[in-house]
Amino acid sequence: MELDLESERQLVERAKTEKEAFGQLFDRYYSKIFGYVLKRTGDVAVAEDLVSETFFKAMKNIKKFQWRGVSFSAWLYRIATNEVNMFYRRSKPLELSIEAEHEAHGFDVPDLNTPERDIVELQDTVERHAQYKMVQGHLIKLSEKYQEVITLRYFENKKIHEVAEILGKSPGTIKSLLSRGVHKLKALMDSDPQPFLQQDIILDIDTETDHPRVPTYGRK
Amino acid sequence: MDENKLHHNLENLEAPEVYNPSHQHRLRVALLAAYDYNRSAQPWLGLQRFFAPLKVFSASGVTVALIVVITAFGFIAKNQPDVAHAEAQGIIGEALVGVAALPDAEREALGQVLGVNITTALAEAYDAPDLRYIGKQDVEVEYEPSATATTAPAAVAGVYFSQGIGMSPLTPKPFNHQLSEAEAARFRELSQGVRVLQFTNAEGHVVQMGIGKDRTPVVRVITVTEDSDSIMTAEPATPEQLDALKLKDERQEHSKQQHEQLRRFYAVPAQRDQQKLRPGTFEEIESDDDSSEE
């Protein structure tokens, strides 16, 4: 159930001094933030670590949080975005990491801190969405600023003004970044339409039909 | 295909819905535990922030020297029923606050050398039903002058908890890394009084975690019980991890009083200090330190 903004504002204020309130905020937004980070990284174990960092930083800094009339989740998304960007800066790009693990080991390397079946199930969930995975395969080749806006706008279904709030940019800048990002994404897709093995991908974004097909993801 | 169509297709792209209840649970428990300690430890956090610039990567340095992964058979800790589960959780809670108070770069470096996300690892420990505090332990540092080394005088052969938790001295594999005797001595000093906790992780492996005096994890030992023919061995951090770090004494940078408080090794990832980070350069670093002291 969605909280109205005033109720959320009160909850955030309580969370500055009451751990139970912070727990409620955590429960409310964990899945959204985890989903966002997973979509940015494509790796469950990495996403777990980055989400842990995100919420710990939120806990550390919640006293400094100032209500600005938008959802608390925007702040969490911003922290998570910074975490993902820092992750990419300090490590090699994750591109093809899933495939590389399969090629190298024949299985997904489990995180010691998470039950293996959870990792496998979650990774399978990502794998099943072949179309999404294909787009993500191209997306991670773009610079961070384009990854951010495209992921938030299209994968998280955020409105332009919401993306602007999360990233601390003006709506005009977001529109511009989106336009340029999609342009670059299209160029990548045109030059390499199949970054992964994807014989079961149905949606053809080059289709000339008037009504783009609804993706059916892995089912022909 | 035009870009408008791509926009449209992206808007209709179905992204996977993901749920991760086990991680959510572990993280929630750890967060709320840390929340309490965060409030009660504010004065201490202020002190941490004051000293933070002086000890960047110090914890990492300790960690890289201490991290061991043990494959063992019959490695059973003694029962110490007088130590309560709550006490162990309290120590983890302190560690969570300690880790949260670290500068981001230091926390990341700590995670890199431990090979795990520290927050996640502490959350797992906190949530383990059999978590218990074993006691304070000194971590032994075995120093063996190398008879064959031609490029450096010595190497640290291995580290292990000293005694009292049922661990026989291991037959450690030598560090694939060279330390001077002086550095090994300082390392020993830092390895005293580590609070050791034990729990069983999700894979059924016994994990022992050592929390240092500065409330940060300094050692994490995973015990894997294998077939009866297994041999007890210890492996320190990977050569890549060790090669990516250097040890450095801070003494020339601070006053004697500060140095006594903060005296420790610290490590700097390779990318942060490329010039001084070369294999076999500890002697050079040591000599640099000596000259600067004068």
DSSP codes, B94-126: HHHHHHHHS-HHHHHHHHHHHTS-HHHHHHHHH
Can you give the length of chain A in residues? 220
Two structure tokens written together for A60: 């550390």
Q: Measuring CA to CA, which residue among A60, A83, A49, A90 is closest to residue B49?
A: A60
Hey, are the CB atoms on A112 and B201 less than 8 Å from each other? yes
Residue B88 CB neighbours (<10 A):
24
Q: What is the pLDDT of residue A119?
A: 63
Q: What is the pLDDT of residue A115?
A: 53
Query: What residues of chain A, 58 to 87, have a C-beta less than 8 Å from chain B?
Result: 59-60, 86
Tell me if chain A has a CB within 8 Å of the CB of B204.
Answer: no
Mean pLDDT of all residues belonging to chain B: 54
> Number of structural domains, chain B?
1
Asked if residue B230 has pLDDT above 60, the reply is no
Two structure tokens written together for B218: 């300094």
- Looking at the partner chain, which of B12, B27, B201 has a beta carbon nearest the beta carbon of A214? B12
Instruction: Determine the distance in angstroms separating the CA of A6 from the nearest CA of chain B, rounded to an integer.
Output: 24
Q: What is the fold, at CATH topology level, of the domain defined by A1-98?
A: Rna Polymerase Sigma Factor; Chain: A (1.10.1740)
Distance between CA B108 and CA B116 in Å, rounded?
10
Buried b / exposed e along A134-160 (16+ C-beta atoms within 10 A): bbbbbbbebeeebbbbbbbbbbbebeb
Query: For chains A and B, what is the number of CB pairs under 8 angstroms?
Result: 147
Burial class of residue B231, CB neighbours in 10 A (0-12, 13-18, 19+): exposed
Q: Over range B253-264, report the average pLDDT.
A: 30
CATH, range A129-220:
1.10.10.10
Burial class of residue A43, CB neighbours in 10 A (0-12, 13-18, 19+): buried
Query: What residues of chain A, 150 to 179, have a C-beta less than 8 Å from chain B?
Result: 150, 154-155, 179
The residue range of the domain holding B195 is: 69-239
> Of A89-98, B62-71, B109-118, B256-265, which has the strongest mean pLDDT?
B109-118
Any domain includes B127: yes
Give every CB contact of residue B142 below 8 A, 6+ residues apart in sequence: B156, B157, B158, B159, B160, B172
Chain B contact probe: residue of A85, A113, A138 with most B CBs at under 10 A: A113
Distance between CA A63 and CA B73 in Å, rounded?
48
Any domain includes B198: yes
Confirm if B262 and B55 have CB atoms less than 8 A apart. yes
Confidence bin at B134 (pLDDT 50/70/90): confident
Hey, are the CB atoms on A38 and B23 less than 8 Å from each other? no
- Region of poorest pLDDT, from A183-187, B12-16, B257-261, B288-292: B257-261
- Looking at the partner chain, which of A90, A122, A132 has a beta carbon nearest the beta carbon of B108? A90
Q: What is the pLDDT of residue B190?
A: 55
B11 contacts on A by Cβ (under 8 Å) = 154
Instruction: Determine the distance in angstroms separating the CA of A14 from the nearest CA of chain B, rounded to an integer.
Output: 13
- Looking at the partner chain, which of B10, B18, B31 has a beta carbon nearest the beta carbon of A56? B31
Longest dimension (CA), chain A: 57
* Parts of chain A belonging to CATH 1.10.1740.10: 1-98
Q: What is the pLDDT of residue A91?
A: 66
Q: What is the pLDDT of residue B26?
A: 80
Instruction: Determine the distance in angstroms separating the CA of B11 from the nearest CA of chain A, rounded to an integer.
Output: 5
- Region of poorest pLDDT, from A91-95, A125-129, B13-17, B213-217: A91-95
Query: What residues of chain B, 129 to 188, have a C-beta less than 8 Å from chain A?
Result: none
Hey, are the CB atoms on B13 and A189 less than 8 Å from each other? no
Distance between CA A139 and CA A196 in Å, rounded?
13
Asked if residue A176 has pLDDT above 90, the reply is yes
Hey, are the CB atoms on B23 and A56 less than 8 Å from each other? no
Distance between CA B275 and CA B279 in Å, rounded?
11
Tell me if chain A has a CB within 8 Å of the CB of B222.
Answer: yes
Hey, are the CB atoms on A126 and B18 less than 8 Å from each other? yes
* Parts of chain A belonging to CATH 1.10.10.10: 129-220
Residue B97 CB neighbours (<10 A):
24
Percent of chain B predicted with pLDDT > 90: 0
Whose tokens are 């005694």? That residue is B163
Q: Over range A35-54, report the average pLDDT.
A: 86
Residue B5 CB neighbours (<10 A):
16
Longest dimension (CA), chain B: 71
A26 contacts on B by Cβ (under 8 Å) = 27-28, 31
Any domain includes B130: yes
Instruction: Determine the distance in angstroms separating the CA of B256 from the nearest CA of chain A, rounded to an integer.
Output: 32
Distance between CA B266 and CA A83 in Å, rounded?
24
